[in-house]
A and B are shown apart, each in its own frame.
Chain A
Amino acid sequence: MAMTIDCKGMYYRKLNKMIRNAVEEGETEFVLDNINGQRYIGNGINEKVKITINGVPGNDLAMFMNGPTLIVNANAQDTIANTMNAGEIIVHGSAGDVLGYGMRGGKLYIKGNVGYRTGIHMKEYKKQIPAIIAGGVAGDFCGEYMAGGILILLGLNKDDDTPIAGDYFGTGMHGGVIYVRGDVDESTLGKEVSVLELDKKDDKTLKKHLTEYCEHFGLNYDDVMRKPFVKLLPVSTRPYGNMYAY
């Protein structure tokens, strides 16, 4: 039985304290109704609890999060999955700017569009490989300074004139991989990345992530795969090695 909290008019500090205390007492499932703008939900929780969020959660959703699964039945705002370590976030809407900043583990599934600077400075370490998958299109500076992890942009339901991502796509990228469904306008790419064909390993990675993605949002995997993908990889892991005079 999930613990249901009516969050109407409730300040975040009270709400998060309530959740943390309940987690400590062994509660594993939460339903938060009437959420609107409460910050930091999921912050600092190290258990694998499930939190369903009905409403638009505030900024820094899942910051430093380390285990929980969050389901957002609305749009999400800015800076979600900030410095996140582990867990899953499923957003049944679009999300704002600076998603997954410094994220180093866990998964972020967005049904709709994502804003500016998605996946900025995502990192990976050994088995901790974060993934962000967005069903729509992304704003400028997507994958900026990306140092690891997997970013997938699907551009589902977009018209042909809408670019899949904004300008400075992959600028400063020096690790990880970005998969793009459809074409990439090379004039929008940052100077540190290049576009490549997928190999077998990529196919496997994509299949794994997209199967899960489709399950979350009730999409047909074959429909999604009908369009070919390309990938963006950094040209160098040391993009700024030659900039200094010693």
Chain B
Amino acid sequence: MSSQIPPEFTVEIDYDKCRRCRRCVMNCSFGCMQFKDKVVPDHKKCVACHRCVTFCPEGVITIKKNELAYKESANWTPEMRQNILKQAETGGILLSGMGNPRPQQILWDHMLIDACQVTNPSIDPLREPMELRTYLGRKPNHLEFTRGDNGDIKLETTLQPQVKLDIPIVFAAMSYGALSLNAHKALAMAAKKSGTLMNTGEGGLHTDLYPYASNITVQVASGRFGVHSEYLNTSATVEIKIGQGAKPGIGGHLPGEKVGDEISKTRMIPAGTDALSPAPHHDIYSIEDLSQLIYAIKEATDYTKPVGVKISAVHNVAAIASGIVRAGADIVTIDGFRGGTGAAPMVIRDNVGIPIELALAAVDQRLRDEGIRNNASILCAGSIRNSGDVAKAIALGADAVVIGTGALIALGCRVCQKCYTGNCAWGIATQKPELVRRLDPQLGAERLSNLLTGWGYELQEILGSLGVNSIESLRGSRERLRGIDLDEQTLDLLGIKPAGIGQ
């Protein structure tokens, strides 16, 4: 059936200035640019990935939104109409990549951070100590000491394993399969360089990444791809993936055409077969089963690593997180409904889950109410866009934040949302060798580390202006946040006061 859907973008080329070097044709991985006697774009295929624009030496390519007039309807937006046409043509589930693009209120943008003036001093972050170091892992509620006969004091409490972060920002779980090996390498190298963690996602760990073990979180997801005892032990922490913000309650699959030799080796499945990740873990249908899996992993790693659990932010997230902590998890990762993905049914991505800001506030408060906040670290994920978001998340109660889309943008991603096509022009979300080559792991790692360094400086600036010199004085300090343009109930849920009210 030929498609009736009009193009989303139009590609304009200034032919007067075009040198016909065909660099755009070589760079376009979506087959939009063709060369006849000149470059001829097939507008329908353009996804606005900006690859041609970036690499055109003359700067003569412009991509514009196709402002095709539709009969006005606030209800039947052009997008709604196009989606229906797409499904009428295919009979399939609408698929999309990246996070929810809808214009729901972003609560980070309605929170403001405090600063010191006169009555207490701000601190100069550039010349005075400013600590961002964070430890992930279960902490006891108190310590016990004894004094020996010789008067020496001895720590009697054995702390559970803790993982050190130099900056409270870790990379999100993104599998090798969804991402290219070069992207995975860049993340691992950057994690090592910046003293933080990358996360394998559910696609196993390529042996090239083994040297980075102490900066890697290995994930155990429902598909159990590449999960074996060596994998579990080649890590700093192990994470059980229950859910993902972009698609709570939904499984996924890596299509067979992406399962080449290296992925096949890493996931330990034959090349060319679909890698299905079922919606549930089939050994977890209830909270006590989660506990059983947590301890199975602890047994397999001899109680040497924190075991975390990642869930998506859903209505009951606070109670669920409490159960997870009581089930023995040392880290809880909550992923909000704007979190990204390589592929998700659009209807799920855009309609299921709740904002991370509310989920985080609810979880932190619930764990405090129950006296178990110290028993686990909280990681906050789901569209952290800048260091301001990081500071606000930590003030709401997170120990550290998780960045996925942000990290990919640092690697070159333009958020064109076509990850699932495997045609990523930037070599990030693709397995095609000619595209993967475009991403240099070294250079990628440098870009990622630069981002973290920049955000780290900014966090220090924020701490300094708050008059504190250690991240733990911000963690959970909601008193230093104020809300604007928020209704009373939202303020209440976030546990913050409206701007204009003092202490």
Contact = CB atoms under 8 A, between A and B. Distances in A.
Given A46-B229, A66-B228, A244-B95, A102 B301 contact: no
Interface in B437-478: none
Nearest to A242: B92
A8 interface: no
A83 B227 CA distance: 7
Given A102-B227, A117-B282, A241-B255, A64 B300 contact: yes
A241 B293 CA distance: 31
Most chain A beta-carbon contacts within 10 A, residue among B253, B283, B301: B283
Contact of A44 (B86, B256, B273, B301): B301
Contacts of B296: 39-40, 43, 60, 63-64, 82
Contacts of B299: 13, 16, 40, 43-44, 63
B270 A245 contact: no
B93 A64 contact: no
B300 A63 contact: yes
A62 to B, nearest CB: 10
A244 B232 CA distance: 33
A227 B283 CA distance: 34
Contacts of B227: 64, 83, 102
B67 to A, nearest CB: 24
Interface in B73-101: 86-87, 89-95
A20 B95 CA distance: 47
Interface string A221-241: 000000000000000011111
Interface string B148-183: 000000000000000000000000000000000000
B132 interface: no
A40 B294 CA distance: 11
Contacts of A238: 255-256, 273-274
B93 A237 contact: no
Interface string B13-52: 0000000000000000000000000000000000000000
B269 A148 contact: yes
A120 B301 CA distance: 24
A83 B278 contact: no
Contacts of B89: 245
A246 B95 contact: yes
A125 interface: yes
A104 B282 contact: no
A125 B278 CA distance: 19
A39 B276 CA distance: 28
B276 A245 contact: no
A59 B92 contact: no
B276 A237 contact: no
A125 B264 contact: yes
B255 A102 contact: no
Interface in A72-113: 79, 82-83, 85, 98, 101-102, 104
A202 B128 CA distance: 73
B253 to A, nearest CB: 6
A24 B224 CA distance: 27
B274 A240 contact: yes
B122 interface: no
A98 B273 CA distance: 23
Contacts of B232: 64
Interface in B48-64: none
A245 B223 contact: no
Contacts of B276: 121, 145, 147, 172, 174, 240
Among A46, A63, A126, A128: residue with most chain B CB under 10 A: A63
A237 B95 contact: no
B272 interface: yes
Q: Which of A43, A104, A240, A244 gathers the greatest number of chain B CB atoms within 10 Å?
A: A244
Interface residues of B, number: 42
Contacts of A148: 269-270, 273
Nearest to A141: B282
Contacts of A20: 302
Contacts of B228: 64, 66, 83, 85, 104
B268 A125 contact: yes
B135 interface: no
B357 to A, nearest CB: 31
A123 interface: yes
A124 interface: yes
A121 B283 contact: no
B292 interface: yes
A221 B224 CA distance: 35
Interface in A170-208: 172, 174-175
A121 B223 contact: yes
A124 B224 contact: no
A243 interface: yes
Contact of B224 (A59, A60, A101, A172): A101
Given A172-B276, A174-B274, A39 B229 contact: no
B9 interface: no
A59 B223 contact: no
B300 A246 contact: no
Contacts of A144: 282
Contacts of A46: 229
B295 interface: yes
A168 B302 CA distance: 38
Contacts of B256: 237-238, 241
A123 B95 CA distance: 27
Given A101-B224, A117-B282, A125 B274 contact: no
A241 B299 CA distance: 38
B302 A237 contact: no
Contact of B92 (A79, A123, A244): A244
B283 A79 contact: yes
Contacts of A59: 292
Nearest to A124: B270
A43 B300 contact: yes
Report the 10 A-B pairs with minimum CB-CB distance, sorted nearest first.
Answer: A102-B224, A44-B300, A245-B92, A245-B90, A125-B268, A244-B95, A43-B299, A244-B92, A64-B300, A63-B296
16 contacts: A16-B299, A39-B296, A40-B296, A83-B228, A85-B228, A120-B282, A121-B276, A121-B282, A123-B268, A147-B269, A148-B269, A174-B276, A175-B273, A245-B91, A245-B92, A246-B421
Given A40-B295, A144-B282, 12 more contacts: A16-B299, A44-B299, A59-B292, A63-B296, A125-B264, A174-B274, A174-B276, A238-B255, A238-B256, A238-B273, A240-B276, A241-B255
Interface of B: 86-87, 89-95, 223-225, 227-229, 232, 253, 255-256, 264-265, 268-270, 272-276, 278, 282-283, 292-293, 295-296, 299-302, 420-421
